[in-house]
Structure 1
């Protein structure tokens, strides 16, 4: 699925300057450096523990490793040829701000590629999605890109081959969204200052309930692909599952 999701980013030149935002342990970056020289690739993440794992990967030794915030990127305007973010947007407090930053840091004619989950339609999957993390709708991805100023916004559905296009459960079936920056400079979108209340005390009871539901959601989204894989083995090819 990684190569399929990265294909729209068009990493067609080894000299491209690429930023992998929310790169974590470097799993997506490994796919990028197959086509772009590692010395031209930057991995950014908020977690030093995740980045420490990326540093251990031999193929990523020449990559620049940066600790930072997806919604406030430490790069100059018009810095990179390509922006990639995979499996990160679902944790952003303000996705529109993060996509605005993606626009700012890439050069004119550059391309941003954002890979993430899609909001499920099955009621139980929706319940766990709402309690767990952000599952955007496809139209929300497109709207965020267009508001930031991107042109030629495209969305590509991705998922395991055995999933047969079923979209009810989200997460497993995601999307890869791309947009092209039409002009140099910052995004035309104007946003107010970033506001995130991290000082408000957390209700211990609410925290415990959300933790338990979140843990249950994690288990649920492990069981769903096993269930769908089994259905794929049983239901004849060509028939919906």
Structure 2
């Protein structure tokens, strides 16, 4: 019962694993057929795992749910994302964001980034209105933090926040960062990867800009298991599976890759609908220099002309799919109020 409450009541699969003080360690052969180990930290509900020994329950969204992986979703394009936030920025901090990414979630998601010095150089990629940056500057001097985003409308909101006045705030592309190699001690990106046409390229860039021993922390969505949520997720934007995050980090060259699961308290650990902010993934850069991964040309160039009718159709369909995910937190909050505590929702 405790495991069902933690991971969702539907579409779950058993995987052999062992309990460790800092989370769970799974034999990678269960996921990819290779003999290595993957550590997953469960940021909430660890106490519910006491007494579980040989077999553990994890969401099937991390293992075997089929989905098209190669085609970007309707809002998983830079131009659609730009216009999506042109309107969303108006009410982002006060209306949309609180249902998906609370201050408690933010602070919990940043813990694995080890922001342990005021003097660290930190880049916040896809920083938007600076919500995550506010969590960063609790631990790092604002003058050492750079906020980068492609949306001037989001960044305009960040510039208005007093704690961020000393931050460098610049426009830029997550797949082509304007920083020197071996520049930063920490790379943070929250709520951005879901819009990247080529997430592997973005993570490769994260590796490049970090110093040796630096840590990348990407905070993003998790893929749903519930059929209707999968349908809208596959139209809306990128909801990676957990093993996809791990694979992208490892291919880019990161070591000690870990996932910490997060979510709003009123979800009670249920992940079957997917979470727009659902996990925090970290990796350490082991050697200086560029990523060992070689990639071809960009999937999408901003300067490339776009058919305006095709653009409008994609944009409207993507926004409608996004409307579904705007309602999910309300639905889960209502269930949390109605269903007695201690029972799965």
- Structure 1 residue 212, shift from structure 2 partner: 3.6
Q: Tell me if the contact between 2:254 and 2:285 (Cα under 8 Å) persists in the aligned partners.
A: yes
Q: Distance in 2 between matches of 1:172 and 1:73?
A: 24
Q: Tell me if the contact between 1:167 and 1:173 (Cα under 8 Å) persists in the aligned partners.
A: no
Q: Distance in 2 between matches of 1:173 and 1:89?
A: 11
SS in 2 for 1:117: strand
Partner of 2:322: 218
Asked if 1:146 is matched to 2:250, the reply is yes
Partner of 2:204: 100
Deviation digits for residues 15-56 of structure 1, max 9, x if unmatched? 111000011111110110011000000001111222122111
SS in 2 for 1:183: coil
Q: Distance in 2 between matches of 1:166 and 1:58?
A: 36
Q: Tell me if the contact between 1:25 and 1:53 (Cα under 8 Å) persists in the aligned partners.
A: yes
Q: Tell me if the contact between 1:103 and 1:150 (Cα under 8 Å) persists in the aligned partners.
A: yes
Q: Tell me if the contact between 1:172 and 1:225 (Cα under 8 Å) persists in the aligned partners.
A: no
SS in 1 for 2:318: helix
Deviation digits for residues 173-208 of structure 1, max 9, x if unmatched? 51100000111111111112324255354272x545
Asked if 1:202 is matched to 2:307, the reply is yes
* Superposed structure 1 runs of 4+ greater than 3 Å apart: 197-201, 206-212
Pick the aligned partner of 1:73 from 160, 163, 177: 177
Relative contact order: is structure 1 or structure 2 higher (C-alpha 8 Å, sep ≥ 6)? Answer: 2
Q: Tell me if the contact between 2:184 and 2:214 (Cα under 8 Å) persists in the aligned partners.
A: yes
Partner of 1:186: 290
Pick the aligned partner of 1:174 from 264, 278, 281: 278
- Structure 1 residue 170, shift from structure 2 partner: 1.2
Deviation digits for residues 53-93 of structure 1, max 9, x if unmatched? 21111110100112111001111111000000000001111
Q: Distance in 1 between matches of 2:306 and 2:326?
A: 32
Question: 218-227 vs 147-156, which deviates more?
Answer: 218-227
Pick the aligned partner of 1:62 from 143, 166, 172: 166
Q: Distance in 2 between matches of 1:59 and 1:133?
A: 31
- Structure 1 residue 219, shift from structure 2 partner: 2.2
CA RMSD of aligned residues (A): 1.5
Q: Distance in 1 between matches of 2:275 and 2:314?
A: 19
Asked if 1:17 is matched to 2:82, the reply is no
Q: Distance in 1 between matches of 2:295 and 2:326?
A: 37
The unaligned stretches of length 5 or more in structure 1 are none
- Structure 1 residue 4, shift from structure 2 partner: 0.9
Question: 226-235 vs 182-191, which deviates more?
Answer: 226-235
TM-score by length of structure 2 reads 0.67
TM-score by length of structure 1 reads 0.94
SS in 2 for 1:73: coil
Q: Distance in 1 between matches of 2:291 and 2:128?
A: 26
Pick the aligned partner of 1:127 from 197, 218, 231: 231
Partner of 1:160: 264
Q: Tell me if the contact between 1:128 and 1:213 (Cα under 8 Å) persists in the aligned partners.
A: no
Number of residue pairs matched by the alignment: 240
Q: Distance in 2 between matches of 1:17 and 1:76?
A: 12
Partner of 2:3: none
